[in-house]
Amino acid sequence: MPAPDDAHMSSSQAAVAGGASPPGAPPAAGMVWVPGGTYMMGSDRHYPEEAPAHPVTVDGFWMDRCAVTNAEFRRFVDATGHVTVAERAPDPADYPGADPALLVPASAVFRKPGRPVDLRNPYNWWVNVQGASWRHPRGPQSSLKGLEDHPVVHVAWADVEAYAAWAGKELPSEAEWERAARGGLEDAEFAWGDELTPGGRHMANVWQGEFPLRNDLLDGHEYTAPVRSYPPNGWGLFEMVGNVWEWTVDWYQAHGAITHACCTVDHPRGGDREASIDAADPTSVPRRVMKGGSHLCAPNYCRRYRPAARMAQAIDTSTSHLGFRCVVRPSASDADGR
Ligand SMILES: [Cu+2]
């Protein structure tokens, strides 16, 4: 029956080429299909770095339902012996002119200041803590006990890249990440709709109360929350917003720097490494885009618990509120239906 077979082949090929439906079974446990398509990336209603909102097109891809957990990261470390950036002393050659006393293994930990502070200076609550690392997320005395299913934190770019390579996965582009976070909702403020707490329900691990002094804990969590603590979005992805920021592969650049922002941009990837460097930063470390906001995002300080929100993150830096999840892009042969 060549005719029906041919018809079946071509219709499934068409669907798969656009990535609307999954090309088969998930490549690994815990991954879901994010359908390809065109959506409005960015926002004109919030911070300037999110503007202009502009249509982009991405192909379908597989994504981890949840941020990579401490248990998963431990399996990677056990298998490879990987030592994270935060666990190593920085190489003085990489930081010319730096005070040698500062070149020790350390990572940035959030510490609540005991008194009102100037909100313009993040060093009022970010402390570079010697001995803080993914194994000791809240400082050298802390451990992972009870945190096995929390997102791993204190991972720098080299760490997440090594994990992805080991897992046979990749890091998402910003456009892929934002497509996924929106969960199929057109132009909604949040990953679940337009209200932060619909019917009073907390949909994400963010900060309630006056940041950085008073955390009212109405969502039940002061630090990270276990993955799957909050409802998944329309595509079955958990905690895309809040809990921890997540790395993407794109070098940071202003949305406005994208050429022809008025027209559909197909599969935007990358940015420019040199252009991602903060001109005011003497260490000149390139920066990638992080997405999703964290448990520290608060209405009075940082309303970045939205799919469109984005920040630049220096690739050598790790913190207590930044993690990641991975994607798998169907190979060209899969996408062709062969
Ligand atoms: Cu924030």
All structural domains of the chain with their residue ranges = 26-335
How much is the pTM? 0.91
Q: Could you read off the pLDDT of 79-114 as tens digits, one per residue?
A: 999 999 999 999 998 888 888 888 999 999 999 999
Question: What distance in Å separates the CA atoms of residue 165 and residue 269, rounded to the nearest whole number?
Answer: 19
What is the whole-number distance in angstroms between the Cα of residue 322 and the centre of ligand 1?
Answer: 11
Residue 262 pLDDT level (bands cut at 50, 70, 90): low
**Model confidence band, residue 263 (pLDDT cutoffs 50, 70, 90):** low
- pLDDT tier at 186 (50, 70, 90 boundaries)? confident
Q: How many angstroms separate the alpha carbon of residue 313 from the centre of ligand 1?
A: 12
Please, which pLDDT band fits residue 3 given cuts at 50, 70 and 90?
very low
Contacts of 117 (CB under 8 A, 6+ apart): 124, 125, 212, 213
pLDDT value of position 8 = 38
Q: pLDDT tens-digit profile of 224-250?
A: 999 999 999 999 999 999 999 999 999
CB atoms within 10 A of CB 318: 27
Q: Is 77 helix (H, G, I), strand (E, B) or coil?
A: helix
- Pairwise CA distance, residues 74 & 135, whole Å: 9
3-state secondary structure of 85: helix
Angle separating helix axes 70-80 and 157-167, nearest 10 degrees: 80
Cβ distance 78 to 97 under 8 Å?
no
Residue 206 CA to ligand 1 centre (angstroms)? 9
3-class secondary-structure state, position 329: coil
pLDDT at position 140 is 96
Ion ligand 1, residue ranges at CB < 5 A: 293, 297, 302, 304
Q: What percent of the chain has pLDDT over 70?
A: 91
Query: Given this structure, which CATH class describes domain 26-335?
Result: alpha beta
What pairing do the DSSP bridges indicate for beta strands 106-110 and 37-41? unpaired
Instruction: Name the pLDDT band for 317 (thresholds 50, 70, 90).
Output: very high
CA of residue 297 to ligand 1 center, whole Å: 4
pLDDT at residue 259, as a whole number: 58
Least confident of 107-121, 132-146, 248-262: 248-262
Distance of CA 229 to the CA centre of its chain: 17
CA of 207 relative to ligand 1 center, distance in Å: 9
pLDDT on residue 334? 54
pLDDT band at 10 (very low <50, low <70, confident <90, very high): very low
Cα of 240 vs centre of ligand 1, distance in Å, is: 13
Ligand 1 mean position, distance from CA 162 (Å): 26
Under the banding of pLDDT at 50, 70 and 90, the label for residue 332 is low
Spatial separation of the C-alpha atoms in residues 257 and 330, rounded to whole Å: 29
